């Protein structure tokens, strides 16, 4: 296990909608509950992305900050270097789209992504707003995903990634799936924030770096999940 777990929060000044910063807090809290010392670095878009972090997080945002964020990340190169070194990444919504080869700009124009995931996004016909629930890829062994989505984008998955879940409620990628993953890189449309609504996803990220984790008291998380899932799932 690492002596200190380094969490990197990318571009909070550009990309952090609907409480995405909560993902950082959940990772910190769940690591510390296991006795893991954490250090969090907030990387503003004017600063270089450190290459030696363990878990990277990037959030959602409006179209223009998304374009700016993609340009800066591409020019910086630090995130690519970190992933090549074995770091994990959770990318949400705008951040998720940025990880692909291309996404739709504010007029629907194609904007290059940074190519960390084999996906391509464009602008859909209408905005997808609301609760989402999805059955997670059985290979990951996680309970149902729950979250909130608000995006115009639709995302096509290439053969280099697997869908994170199959949607039961909501739009996600737009083809009956939601999000995707490849190795330690996870992309999702889910806000809420995603890790507060899905603590097992937080533990998946943590354990991809530090190994097996002992269980902790999840009763507050469970109450939130029960309440949100009961609100959307058919009885």
The residue ranges that bind ligand GLN (CB under 6 A) are 17, 60-63, 66, 93-94, 150-153
Specify the residue, 115 or 124, whose C-beta has the smaller distance to ligand GLN. 124
Residue nearest to ligand GLN (CB): 60
CB nearer to ligand GLN: give 38 or 155.
Answer: 155
Annotated ligand binding at 72? The verdict is no
Calculate Rg over the CA atoms of the chain: 16
Q: Which of 54, 93, 151, 180 is catalytic?
A: 93
Residue among 134 and 208 whose Cβ is closer to ligand GLN: 134
Contact call for residues 80 and 89 (beta carbons, < 8 A): no
Answer yes or no: 93 catalytic: yes
Question: Are residues 52 and 226 in contact, defined by beta-carbon separation less than 8 angstroms?
Answer: no
We find the least distance from the C-beta atom of residue 217 to ligand GLN, in angstroms, to be 31
102-104/110-112 β-pairing = antiparallel
Alpha-carbon distances of 129 from 86, 153, 156, 157, 189, rounded to whole Å = 34, 11, 19, 21, 11
Q: Least distance from C-beta 185 to ligand GLN, angstroms?
A: 17
Looking at the chain, which runs of residues are DSSP E strands?
5-10, 38-43, 55-58, 88-92, 102-104, 110-112, 119-136, 145-157, 162-169, 177-182, 185-188
Q: How many CB atoms lie within 10 A of CB 19?
A: 17
Minimum CB separation of residue 169 from ligand GLN in Å reads: 18
CB of 150: closest distance to ligand GLN in angstroms?
A: 5
User: Which of 98/209 has CB closer to ligand GLN?
Assistant: 98
> Any catalytic annotation for residue 191?
yes
Residue in 54, 151, 180, 191 annotated catalytic: 191
**Residues at the annotated binding site for substrate?**
127
**Residues at the annotated binding site?**
127
Catalytic center residues: 93, 191
């Amino acid at each position: 296990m690492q002596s200190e777990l380094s969490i990197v929060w990318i571009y909070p000044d550009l990309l952090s909608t609907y409480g995405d910063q909560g993902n950082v807090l959940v990772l910190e809290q769940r690591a510390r509950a296991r006795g893991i010392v954490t250090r969090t670095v907030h990387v503003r878009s004017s600063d270089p992305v450190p290459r030696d972090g363990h878990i990277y997080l990037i959030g959602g945002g409006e179209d223009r900050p998304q374009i700016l964020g993609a340009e800066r990340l591409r020019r910086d190169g630090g995130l690519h270097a970190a992933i090549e070194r074995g770091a994990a990444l959770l990318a949400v919504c705008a951040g998720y789209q940025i990880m692909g080869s291309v996404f739709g700009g504010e007029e629907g124009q194609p904007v290059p992504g940074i190519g960390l995931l084999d996906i391509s996004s464009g602008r859909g016909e209408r905005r997808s707003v609301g609760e989402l629930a999805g059955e997670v890829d059985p290979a990951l062994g996680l309970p149902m995903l729950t979250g909130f989505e608000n995006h115009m984008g639709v995302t096509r998955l290439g053969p280099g990634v697997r869908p994170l879940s199959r949607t039961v409620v909501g739009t996600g990628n737009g083809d009956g799936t939601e999000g995707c993953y490849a190795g330690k890189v996870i992309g999702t449309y889910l806000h809420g924030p995603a890790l507060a609504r899905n603590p097992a996803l937080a533990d998946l990220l943590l354990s991809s770096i530090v190994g097996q984790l002992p269980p902790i008291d999840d009763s507050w998380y469970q109450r939130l999940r029960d309440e949100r899932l009961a609100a959307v799932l058919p009885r």
